């Protein structure tokens, strides 16, 4: 049996095995599916101008309250490119944290294409079918940032509300098919950010020996670290 470790202050620290069990229990409870289904229900098609109310609602009604419940400060900023979709910037700061983690996601999706789905599947609902979950955004990217935030929630619960590092998040709403304003927005908010590790929820590459991060799709953004 794995013994529970003790911190220097004598406070009980949860083991990795206990945390993994907590994650398994969370999934089995249906809470993750409920959260994901709520997010998928927002038809955030960034290629459809008429979806502006739903895209903004995804941020103001869904993501901001969820992040605030985890201790984040949030702000929604206009896209530097006129007429394009906004960004949600969030940060969670812990006193004397040794480093900052930068994470990314996007809340928009490609076209729902309702007519071409199976007749028993609605793209704006999560439909489980065996070990598959159908729904627009279940994988890219609502499922991914929902997994990330659920994991963070479980760690916070296990560690008495402390991660041991700062966390900054960028959530964009115009990733599909390309991210207008992304370069200018990230350049502006990156000023002064130091000792940042990057956890990108889609296909990006971290090159430790070069101390750089490369965004491989839709061009290339390189952040250099000193």
CATH number at residue 40: 3.40.630.10
> What residue numbers bound the domain in which 85 lies?
16-224
On whether residue 186 sits in a domain, the answer given is: yes
The whole-number pLDDT of residue 123 equals 97
On whether residue 7 sits in a domain, the answer given is: no
Retrieve residue 91's tokens: 């940060």
On whether residue 2 sits in a domain, the answer given is: no
Q: Report, as ranges of residue numbers, the positions in the chain whose pLDDT lies below 70.
A: 1-12, 176-226
Each residue's pLDDT tens digit, 87-99: 999 999 999 999 9
On whether residue 6 sits in a domain, the answer given is: no
On whether residue 5 sits in a domain, the answer given is: no
Integer Cα distance of 218 and 216 in angstroms: 7
The whole-number pLDDT of residue 156 equals 94
The whole-number pLDDT of residue 80 equals 81
What is the edge-to-edge ordering of all strands in the sheet holding 212-215? 204-207, 212-215, 222-224
Could you tell me how many helices (H) and strands (E) the chain has, helices first? 6, 10
The whole-number pLDDT of residue 177 equals 57
The whole-number pLDDT of residue 102 equals 85
Residue by residue, DSSP assigns 118-183 as: -TT--TTS-EEETTEEESTTTTTTHHHHHHHHHHHHHHHHHTTT--SSEEEEEEES--SS--TTHH
On whether residue 23 sits in a domain, the answer given is: yes
Alpha helices in the chain (DSSP H): 16-28, 31-40, 52-57, 64-69, 142-158, 182-190
Question: How many domains in the chain?
Answer: 1
The whole-number pLDDT of residue 83 equals 82
On whether residue 3 sits in a domain, the answer given is: no
Global pTM reads: 0.79
């Amino acid at each position: 049996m794995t013994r529970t470790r003790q911190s220097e202050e004598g406070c009980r620290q949860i083991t990795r095995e206990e945390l993994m069990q907590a994650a398994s229990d969370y999934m089995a409870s249906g809470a993750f599916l409920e959260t994901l289904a709520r997010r998928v229900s927002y038809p955030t098609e960034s290629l459809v101008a008429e979806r502006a109310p739903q895209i903004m609602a995804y941020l103001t009604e869904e993501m901001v309250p969820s992040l605030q419940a985890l201790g984040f400060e949030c702000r929604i900023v206009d896209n530097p490119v006129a007429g394009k979709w906004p960004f949600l910037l969030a940060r969670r700061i812990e006193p004397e944290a040794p480093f900052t983690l930068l994470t990314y996601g996007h809340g928009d999706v490609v076209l729902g294409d309702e007519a071409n789905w199976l007749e028993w599947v609605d793209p704006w609902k999560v439909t489980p079918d065996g070990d598959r979950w159908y729904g627009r955004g279940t994988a890219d990217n609502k499922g991914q940032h929902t997994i990330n935030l659920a994991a963070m929630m479980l760690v916070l619960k296990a560690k008495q509300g402390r991660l041991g590092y700062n966390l900054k998040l960028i959530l964009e709403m115009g990733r599909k098919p390309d991210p207008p304003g992304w370069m200018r927005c990230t350049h502006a908010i990156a000023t002064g950010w130091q000792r940042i590790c990057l956890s990108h929820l889609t296909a990006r590459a971290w090159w430790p020996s070069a101390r750089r991060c490369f965004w491989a799709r839709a061009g290339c953004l390189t952040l250099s670290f000193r």
